[in-house]
Each structure stands twice: as C-alpha cells, then as structure tokens.
Amino acid sequence: MIRGVRGAITVKENNEPVIVSSTEKLLKEVIKENGIDPEDVTSVFISVTEDITDAFPAKALRLIPGWTHVPVMCMREIPVPSALPLCIRVMIHIFTEKAQNEIVHVYLGDATQLRPDLLK
C-alpha cells in the first residue's frame, strides 16, 4: 500500500546553503526514522512558505546517495497570514506494509509547533 510520510523544518534565513542543508537534515531524519529505501518511494513533494525564494529545497534530495531517480517537486504553501514563517514541509509517498500509526512524522526546529501531538 502507499502511505505518506510528513516532515517539516524551519530555517533561520532565506539563503541557499541554509535552505539546502536544512532540507537535507529533515529528509535524512525522515528516511532514518522510517527506514525508507528510495526504491520504495513513488514521489516526494516539498513545499515552502512564500518567504523562501533563494533555492529549490529539492536540491537536497540529490545530495543523498541512491535518491537520484526519485521524482521530486517543489511548490509554495498557501500564504495564510498566521502561517509559520520560513518553513519547509515534505511529503514522501512510499510503498509500505506499515500501519498509519507506525509511520514516524518528523518535525524539527520551530516546526514542532505544527504537530505537537506527533512528537516523540
């Protein structure tokens, strides 16, 4: 079956090295926590708040060995006035036998406030 694995992280500033390294940190943590093999991934969506414009965070996925051929797309979040600023969100679609409650969603930095109910 296909399941979605979520994650989010905030960045301190809008610049390419920070965006890419923060996204890489988030992706590696999501991958580790869920034991994700790139061969089991159907696609990855990465969204950013409108204040992140200096780089495509998808660039970070290409830094992880074995993930070259995984389809990835970046998009912008809806600009809700009360939204958490400087936030990068990921959704990884995977083939898995895990139940919904076995999926580990990862929230780092100020993004922990998005889903405090899912924190370990």
- Catalytic annotation, residues: 6, 62, 74, 77, 89, 107, 115
Integer Cα distance of 76 and 78 in angstroms: 7
- Burial (CB count <10 Å: 0-12, 13-18, 19+), residue 35: exposed
**Closest alpha carbon to 87 in 105, 107, 72, 70:** 107
